């Protein structure tokens, strides 16, 4: 017999969806403010000081603004309750947003690579950078690193993969600013070609990170299971439920930052249907209380004690 247990007042002991959404909104608006200031300053300074690397770094910061608004949109949509068309809720808006973020990073990175290669084809045309560019990139580096540390702390606290992706997007900006700073320093030291080389390195870093985020999000949209360690912890919780004699065929799939679980549990065949159902309800409650699980569907199988193996067992799934 199969029991599909409805989701009645699930309890998340870590962070409620409202808390996660509020934290995501706050950290993202902070990122919007920082990136708006940085991108404007970097692009303007890059043009005035004739630094292609600084302009590329500013464009990277500008792409963060678009990414931030994608996160805000996903955060808003993901808070919607389940409905007839989305019975498991709208959590996968976060996964879709991560896919968009990955595509955005990949496109920005490839564009930066192309622009740098055009400059490298004509090294004699590379301008000498003004010294002020080094001060601008230094200030940008500090600002981006501080933003990364703040956003990653929030993401880990609320356990949001989307916020982790956006935090590392900010870290990619910090890394790119470091590379650009080295390129500008080389340019000022008498090696102008180092500025477009720095821009090319930044482009590669951004494209590589975009590919990684996009690839992970794509797999999650294709119902990738959670990692083995977390699945084992969920299995242990089910097995520890009083009345559960065994567990098998546990399957998991991601739903945004939450998890949907299917499991076969074995209960004493001599129990009534109601008693078996109560055990399944308790197993579900325990899993949802202790893990980041959105819903659990159980299939109850009959189990017989070894001293009753000679007796006929009812077919599974009856």
Residue 292: both structure tokens together: 């980041």
Domain covering 225-308 in this structure, CATH number: 3.30.70.1350
Q: Tell me the CA distances in angstroms from 123 to 109, 126, 174, 200, one per residue in order.
A: 21, 5, 27, 14
Task: Please check the confidence at residue 3 and state whether its pLDDT lies above 50.
Answer: no
Residue 158's SS3 state is helix
Q: Where are the domains of the chain?
A: 17-221, 225-308
- pLDDT band at residue 309, thresholds of 50, 70 and 90? low
Domain covering 17-221 in this structure, CATH number: 1.20.1510.10
- Distance from C-alpha of 269 to C-alpha of 315, rounded to nearest angstrom: 11
Average pLDDT over residues 122-145: 81
- For Cα atoms 50, 102, 292, give the angle at the middle one, nearest 5 degrees: 135
Q: Which residues of 261-278 are buried (b: 16+ CB within 10 A; e: fewer)?
A: bebbbbbbbebeeeebbe
pLDDT at position 4 is 40
Task: Tell me if domain 17-221 and domain 225-308 are identical in fold.
Answer: no
Q: How far is CA 98 from the centre of its chain?
A: 6
- Distance from C-alpha of 78 to C-alpha of 93, rounded to nearest angstrom: 5
Count Cβ atoms within 10 A of the Cβ of residue 305 and give its class: 0-12 exposed, 13-18 middle, 19 or more buried. exposed
Least confident window among 32-36, 163-167, 201-205, 281-285: 163-167
When the pLDDT of each residue in the chain is averaged and rounded to a whole number, the result is 80
Q: What is the pTM of this model?
A: 0.62
Q: Tell me the CA distances in angstroms from 81 to 84, 137, 229, one per residue in order.
A: 10, 44, 29
Least confident window among 7-16, 252-261, 286-295: 7-16
Tens digits of per-residue pLDDT, 87-124?
777 777 778 877 888 888 888 888 888 878 887 877 76
Tens digits of per-residue pLDDT, 34-46?
888 888 888 888 8
Which residue, among 170, 184, 198, 175, has the nearest Cα to 136 in the 3D structure?
Answer: 184
Q: Which residues pair with 246 in a beta bridge?
A: 266
Average pLDDT over residues 163-186: 79
pLDDT at position 75 is 65
Strand order in the sheet with 246-255: 2-3, 293-303, 258-268, 246-255
Tens digits of per-residue pLDDT, 210-245?
888 889 888 888 888 888 899 999 999 999 999 999
Between 118 and 78, the higher pLDDT residue: 118
């Amino acid at each position: 017999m199969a029991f599909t247990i409805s989701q009645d007042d699930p309890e998340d002991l870590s962070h409620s969806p409202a808390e996660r959404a509020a934290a995501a909104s706050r950290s993202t608006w902070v990122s919007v403010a920082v990136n708006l200031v940085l991108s404007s300053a970097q692009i303007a300074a890059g043009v005035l000081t004739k630094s292609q690397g600084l302009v590329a770094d500013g464009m990277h910061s500008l792409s963060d603004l678009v990414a931030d608004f994608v996160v805000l949109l996903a955060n808003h949509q993901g808070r919607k309750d389940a409905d007839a068309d989305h019975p498991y809720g709208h959590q996968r808006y976060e996964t879709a947003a991560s896919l968009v973020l990955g595509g955005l990073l990949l496109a920005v990175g490839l564009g930066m690579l192309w622009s740098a290669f055009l400059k490298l084809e004509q090294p004699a045309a590379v301008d000498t950078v003004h010294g002020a560019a080094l001060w601008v990139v230094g200030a940008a580096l500090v600002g981006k690193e501080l933003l990364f540390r703040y956003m990653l702390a929030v993401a880990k606290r609320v356990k949001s993969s989307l916020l982790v992706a956006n935090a590392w997007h900010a870290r990619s900006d910090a890394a790119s600013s470091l590379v650009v700073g080295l390129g500008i320093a080389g340019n000022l030291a008498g090696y102008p070609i180092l500025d477009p080389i720095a821009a090319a390195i930044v482009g590669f870093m951004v494209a590589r990170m975009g590919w990684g985020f996009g690839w992970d999000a794509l797999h999650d949209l294709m119902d990738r299971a959670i990692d083995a360690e977390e699945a084992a912890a969920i299995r242990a919780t089910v097995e520890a439920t009083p009345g559960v004699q065994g567990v098998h065929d546990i399957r998991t799939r991601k739903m945004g930052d939450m998890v949907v679980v299917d499991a076969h549990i074995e209960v004493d065949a001599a129990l009534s249907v109601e008693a078996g159902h109560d055990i399944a309800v308790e197993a579900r409650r325990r899993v949802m209380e202790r893990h980041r699980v959105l819903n659990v569907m159980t299939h109850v199988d009959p189990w017989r004690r070894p001293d009753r193996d000679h007796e006929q067992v009812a077919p599974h799934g009856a």
